[in-house]
Structure 1
Amino acid sequence: MNKKTFPTTPLGRIKLFFTFFDSRWEDLTKENWLTIVYRDFSAGLIVAMTAIPMAMGFAMAMGMRPEHGIVAGALACTIGRTFGGSKYQVYGPTAAFIPVIASLMTKYGPSNGGVFETAHGFLILVSIIAGIILIIMGIFGFGRFAKLVPNSIIVGFTVGIALVIALTNLEDILGIESFSDLLGGQEESLSGGFIHNISTAFNNLHLINGWSILLGVMTFALTKILLRISIFIPGPVIAMSSATVLSATVLQDKNIILVKDLYGSIPNNFFKFTTPILPALDSSVIIDIVYYVAAIVFVSGIESILCSSMADKLANNDRTPFNPDKEFFGQGLVQIITPLLQGFPCTGALARTATSIKAGAQTPLAGYFKAILKLSMAYYLAKYLELIPMACIGGILVWVSTNMIKPSEIKEIKHLGKFEFSMMIYTAVMVPVTDFLTGVLSALIIYFIVKKAFKRRIQAQS
């Protein structure tokens, strides 16, 4: 089976979408099933160990609680591996969603006079609407249009998000925001967005904690070094465990802020049904619904297609490629179901997918193993996860941001010409300066207007 045999009608697509044993399982046979299951289990275990600290970090950066990240990652991966269009893709919390979700949680949460439950309920509402749109897009074959987004804008968007993540997590490494919030009793969101976090850092430089910096830098460096030695080493887990032991022993009296100081105990009854909430309807709320729905659809669509394409190349998949329409359908179900069970919007995770493939993953089984093992480990380790220093979370997220910026991709864009390179720079600057959707949409409008005008000029000259 190849790409040409994918259904081309809505009815045919729906039938395929609900076919569990499709071409994604073609590498699993009666002859090799034992080897494949072992490889998928090993890959799932490695990704699960790496994913726990990353999921917690992403959740806290979004203004959510640590356990929300654990739930979201496990549930999204289970749904995505069941209904998605890729053999290899690992689903979970991603950096691209941080500015989107953080801005919503800030606007409707405690930092703007609201409550967390209302903000999360509104997030659930817009995520469900986005999920329905993604399902419709998949049924009617819109997957192919995601590939039309220029690579220069995708790279610029990635660089912009990386800058936002790195700069907005400096307070945790410096021991500034969390310490000042504890002292002042402020009822602000702990992830108040780019401007809030930067201003907080500069206004509280006198509160810098050198020991927090040590733990943050150590977490960053150790993670980077260990993963450079071997992908099979769970670098984030070892780095955070080492820093946690230090903070609980020799650095116990150094005023280092821990996860439990800000979020209390981490419960291990992970799944809890949460309902969507619609705030008092006015023009501002309607605009926000449109904005956040569009943002979730865009991130889900672009990142999942990008991740699926990358996965096929990385795995040297010479058989059936990923199905973009089925991927949209799977993403839609992820965005509908995951937030309802104490999670938030998720998509294909580039780093975890690459780790899974390098660790030997062959079929969707790797994703199921990752989800089960992640929940199992988090269940038994919950009382220890709350002892992690916030500086470690900052160190992990800064490490994530540095991995997002790839010099080879920037060089590739530069070779495409000045216009493509300038669009990359424009997007990278506009994403942190304005907001995610404004930066990307304005870049797309400029790109296609200029391209169309340039094409007309060439046609006129000929």
Structure 2
Amino acid sequence: MSVSLPPLFSALRQTLRAGYGWGQLRGDLSAGLTVGIIAIPLAMALAIAVGVAPQHGLYTVLVAGSLTALFGGSRFNVTGPTAAFVVILLPVTQQFGLGGLLLCTLMAGGILIVLGLMRAGRLIEFIPYPVTLGFTAGIGIVIATLQIKDLLGLQLAGPANNYLEQLSGLWHALPSLQLGDSLVAVVCLAVLLIWPRWVPKIPGHLVALAVGALLGLLLENLHIPLATLGERFSYSLNGVEHPGIPPFLPAFVWPWQLPGADGQPLAVSFELFRQLLAPAFAIAMLGAIESLLCAVVADGMTGSKHDPNGELIGQGIGNMIAPLFGGITATAAIARSAANVRAGAYSPVAAIVHAGVVLIAIVFLAPLFSYLPMAALAALLLVVAWNMSEPRHVQHTLRIAPRSDVMVLLTCLILTVLFDMVLAVGVGLLLAAGVFIKRMSDLTDTAALPKDFHQALNDLPEHVLAYAIRGPLFFGAAEKALSVLRRFTPGVKVVIVDISAVPLLDMTAIAALDNVLRDYRAQQVGLVLSGPTPRVRLQLRRAGMEQVDGQLAYVRDLPHAKAKALRWLTPKTDAALEVV
């Protein structure tokens, strides 16, 4: 008996089989340097967006980015914090603090590993496009709204419990608008939108942040107030507070040793794990969808093929180890992975190099990050939110999609914005499943066969009726399809039903067919099922419906069905069941 091993190092093994030399290494080094530079400000901005200090985003890239590339199943995926997680992680941080967030991430990593071991890597194929598009567009709207506070330098009265309260708080805080923050935001947004058209080879967000930092220094010299990363965040070293982020590597620490929402270490209990289980499961599902979708996009750009189960296990390992070193939730990012491919990446080495670039930035450039204006980081996230919401795709889908798919998309979008993504995806999947069931049931029908349908039906006696059922007989269609057979016509002694176009039965259909047989027995009417597939006939046999008081027969085709019907009508064979 052979035992299948977990698909670890799938991408690396695929790379080695394809061959690896100095030319490929140069491509990986160049791509890793490019993507690493892109990842630094994004990682800090996304960490701030989920309610933790910016260095935790860098730690995420450093640990999860390298481990996922090493153990995962995609050669080109680049892992780190992503905007899609903001709507899930921010409430966890607010309720359970940093310790709760990291513990929840660790639990999500375990779930991802289990999914990979269960070979659930094809999960993405079962998520309808309107559901994915709806909740990603909703996430983009929520992220964009969250950035308004730092874009304009507003002073909010307090945290909001829902999206509508958040909008109300922003409206009432407009009188506190700061000129310096607003000016930096406008300039950075202009650079982010215009620069890629002029110089696409140099990442526009780096130029925008540099311009924002220089403008911030100028405004400070003019004594115009401006919120910076160094003013908002600090770290303690030898009992002395320093602005910005620490210029040293993270230390190992258990998540429950870190402070919760009350500032005290987490009290580990079954109740805590119970409360974190739902968001951990949501994080794992979203992480699986994002990473697998990212791998599919990368495959389309390169012609490669990823290992979905290996990718899930790699993502799980990264999300289990990263929290032990201060890293938050991570998954593959489509924008960074696409940039990785365009920059010449060949293997997971590029993603490992990108993590190394972040390591160098932490050690040598940390003091410079203190000068970054919060408005500049908010402008960066605003553009990220706009891109991830895919307004063109949403508009195109609303214009051409069936009304049922439009309903699913809008429901997911609205629920994501007003409530949360977990509810939106759950309801969206239920709606999509309901739409699918309705469409499949519409394909199943029962119709009377005219005499000229088949030569075998010619000259049938008046007390023999012929029907045909087309389509799958399952719980959504069985009652509708079989109800036609229960409309008795006076004088009918035998009913022929062509089921050659019925690919499957479920238990609801079997139970409904059994009820039809009971009614026929009461009316002394025989039933001939013509052309059942081997699978359907096996299902009926297992249900004990091979022979029912000489009343039911299975035959190969319509000629045999006619012969069986005529044989039943003669008094000599009326009580005998002879299967042709």
| C-alpha distance in structure 2 between counterparts of 1:345 and 1:303, whole Å | 12
**Partners of 2:445 and 2:98 in 1: CA distance:** 54
Match for residue 233 of structure 2?
Answer: 263
1:250 shift after superposition: 4.0
Residues 1:454 and 1:72: Cα distance change in structure 2 (over 3 Å) = same
Q: Please list, as runs of the form range in 1=range in 2, the aligned pairs for 1:53-92 lying within 5 A after superposition.
A: 53-92=41-80
Instruction: Check if 1:340 corresponds to 2:324.
Output: yes
Deviates more, 1:197-206 or 1:398-407: 197-206
| Pair 1:225-2:216 in alignment | no
Partner of 1:111: none
Q: Cα distance, 1:225 vs. partner?
A: 2.2
Partner of 2:104: 126
Q: Could you list the runs of 5+ residues in structure 2 that have no partner in the other structure?
A: 235-242, 257-265, 447-469, 471-580
* Displacement of 1:365: 1.3
One-letter code aligned to 1:132 = G
Shift of 1:193: 7.3
Query: What SS does structure 1 have at the residue aligned with 2:122?
Result: helix
Shift of 1:50: 1.3
Does the CA-based 8 Å contact 2:11-2:72 persist in structure 1? no
Separation (CA, whole Å) in 1 of partners of 2:79 and 2:9: 19
Residues 68 and 342 in structure 1, CA contact (< 8 A), matched pair in contact too: yes
Matched-pair contact (CA < 8 Å) for 2:75–2:347: yes
Q: Which residue of 2 aligns with 1:289?
A: 276
- Counterpart residue number, 2:34: 46
After superposition, the C-alpha distances for 1:400-452 in whole angstroms (9 at most, x for unaligned) are 01111334533257434222122112111110101110111111112112311
Residues 204 and 442 of structure 1: is their aligned pair in 2 closer, same or farther, counting only changes over 3 Å?
Answer: same
Alignment correspondent of 2:338: 354
User: Which residue, out of 176, 181, 185, partners 1:207?
Assistant: 176
- Cα offset, 1:352, TM superposition: 0.7
Which structure has greater strand proportion?
Answer: 2
Instruction: Return closer, same or farther for 1:59/1:192 CA change in 2, 3 Å cut-off.
Output: farther
Distance 2:398 2:74 in 1: 27
CA displacement 1:356-375 (0-9 Å, x = unmatched): 11111111111111110122
CA distance in 2, matches of 1:195, 1:389: 27
Which of 240, 248, 254 matches 2:224? Answer: 254
Q: How does 1:159-238 map to 2 (within 5 A)?
A: 159-177=137-155, 194=163, 197-238=166-207
Moved over 6 A (4+): none
Q: Which amino acid aligns with 1:50?
A: I
Q: Closer, same or farther in 2 for the Cα pair 1:138/1:124, shift >3 Å? A: same
Deviations 1:202-259 (A, max 9, x none): 2211110122112112212212322333442021111111111111124431111111
Give the alignment partner of residue 398 of structure 1, picking from 375, 382, 386. Answer: 382
What SS does the aligned partner of 2:28 have? Answer: helix
Whole-Å Cα distance in 1 between the matches of residues 225 and 42 of structure 2?
Answer: 24
1:22 alignment counterpart: 13
Identify, as 1 or 2, the structure richer in helix: 1
**TM-score between the two structures when normalised by the length of structure 2:** 0.70
How far apart are residue 272 of structure 1 and its match? 2.0
> Larger RCO: Structure 1 or Structure 2 (Cα < 8 Å, ≥ 6 residues apart)?
1
- Once the two structures are TM-superposed, the CA of residue 169 in structure 1 deviates from its matched residue by 0.6
CA RMSD of aligned residues (A): 2.3
What are the Cα deviations for residues 125-181 of structure 1, in whole angstroms up to 9, with x where unaligned?
A: 22222212211211121111232101111111110110011011101001103xx68
Counterpart of 2:311 in structure 1 is 327
The 8 Å contact of residues 102 and 328 in structure 2, kept in 1 or not, is answered as yes
Query: CA 1:104/1:377 → structure 2, altered by over 3 Å: closer, same or farther?
Result: same
Query: What is the identity, as a one-letter code, of the residue corresponding to 2:58?
Result: I
Alignment gaps of 5+ in structure 1: 1-8, 109-118, 182-187
The structure-2 alpha-carbon separation of the partners of 1:141 and 1:282, relative to structure 1 and needing over 3 Å to count, comes to closer
C-alpha contact 2:249 2:362 (8 A) present in aligned 1: no
| Higher deviation after alignment, 205-214 or 406-415 | 406-415
Equivalent in 104, 127, 146 of residue 92 of structure 2: 104
Deviation at 1:102, TM superposition (A): 0.4
Q: What TM-score comes out, normalization by structure 1 length?
A: 0.87
Q: Which has the larger radius of gyration?
A: 2
Identity %: 27
Instruction: Give the number of aligned pairs.
Output: 427
